[in-house]
Amino acid sequence: MIDRYTLIATPDRLAERFNAENTEPHRPQYNAGPGRLLPVILQHSPQGISYFYWGAPPAQGKNKSLAEKIINLRAESIGDKPVFQKKLRHYRCLIPADGFFVWKQIGKKTATPYRVVRTDKSLFSIAGVWEEYQQEDGEHVHTFTMITTPTGDELHRIAERMPAVLTLEMEKTWMDREADQALLLSLLQPAPLSWESYTVSPRITSTEANEASLILPAPAANQFGNLTLFD
């Protein structure tokens, strides 16, 4: 499961990279997690940047079992279920990011956090889907789900899953309203991009933490703060 990523680019840089108007200022996200309002670019309105909840609004996100089901969608599952196929056809989005976190299993119940970034430290996009629904109080809520794929050879040593990252050319196809299902599904595999990774502080476990020190390299330690022998 991928439940953390980073987006520390300025609003202007974000707008420039995705050629989309950004009318809402946002604070740097050093530890973007479920339940937060985060920027996405929608298939039907690529000229603007929207802010949707990742997975569910904060109140609903307290239900961990529910949150785990809706923050990620495995690419391999989309072709099997009509509801996922409908989202793929009509509710696609791009999720801007400049890094993501994975956990390397070092024991049955212990893991070490890593941050993964492009070798050139550039912004990139993750394939996602979104939805709108009405709450009991009548308020309309917008959420998004991140699509994940198995890791490629470059990252397989530290994790089994990664976000479905898109190249610039893949982005154009993903946002094309006329693209068919087979073509879209073919995009959902490890992109031919170069990555680097490094261990970070296990403080990223806290959904409340969001400071710059979270993305600094740190000695390899598990989620309890115990140093490990593996990097």
Residue 73, pLDDT above cutoff 60: yes
The pLDDT, as a whole number, for residue 63 is 56
* Residue 94 structure tokens: 């791009």
The pLDDT, as a whole number, for residue 110 is 87
* CA end-to-end distance (rounded Å), the chain: 20
Provide the total of helices (H) and of strands (E) in the chain, helices listed first: 7, 13
- Find out whether 125 and 40 touch, Cβ atoms under 8 Å: no
Residue 18, pLDDT above cutoff 80: yes
Rounded Cα–Cα distance for residues 54 and 210 (Å): 16
Mean pLDDT calculated for residue range 174-188: 95
The pLDDT, as a whole number, for residue 51 is 94
Residue 191, pLDDT above cutoff 60: yes
The pLDDT, as a whole number, for residue 5 is 98
- Find out whether 91 and 147 touch, Cβ atoms under 8 Å: no
Rounded Cα–Cα distance for residues 227 and 116 (Å): 20
The pLDDT, as a whole number, for residue 229 is 55
Rounded Cα–Cα distance for residues 189 and 203 (Å): 30
Report percent pLDDT > 90 for the chain.
69
The C-alpha torsion from 52 through 55 and 58 to 59, rounded to 10°, is: 120
The pLDDT, as a whole number, for residue 28 is 94
* Residue 193 structure tokens: 């991009």
Mean pLDDT calculated for residue range 17-28: 87
What is the average pLDDT score of the chain? 89
Residue 67, pLDDT above cutoff 60: no
Residue 34, pLDDT above cutoff 70: yes
Angular region, 35: left φ>0, alpha ψ -120 to 50, beta rest: left
Q: Which ranges of 91-222 does DSSP label H, i.e. alpha helix?
A: 168-174, 181-187
Task: Please report, for residues 117, 181, 217, the alpha-carbon distance to residue 155 in angstroms, rounded to integers and kept in the order given.
Answer: 11, 27, 17
Burial 80-97 (b: 16+ CB within 10 A, else e): eeeebeebbeebbbbbbb
Mean pLDDT calculated for residue range 114-121: 96
Which among 178, 151, 182 is positioned nearest to 164, based on CA atoms?
Answer: 151
Architecture of the structural domain at 5-215? Alpha-Beta Complex (3.90)
Mean pLDDT calculated for residue range 79-86: 89
Which among 32, 167, 151 is positioned nearest to 94, based on CA atoms?
Answer: 167
Element (H, E) at 84: helix 82-90
Residue 56, pLDDT above cutoff 60: yes
The structure's pTM equals 0.91
> By mean pLDDT, which of 136-140, 163-167, 171-175, 214-218 is the weakest?
136-140
> By mean pLDDT, which of 56-65, 106-115, 160-169, 183-192 is the weakest?
56-65
Question: What secondary structure letter does DSSP report for 157?
Answer: T
The pLDDT, as a whole number, for residue 171 is 96
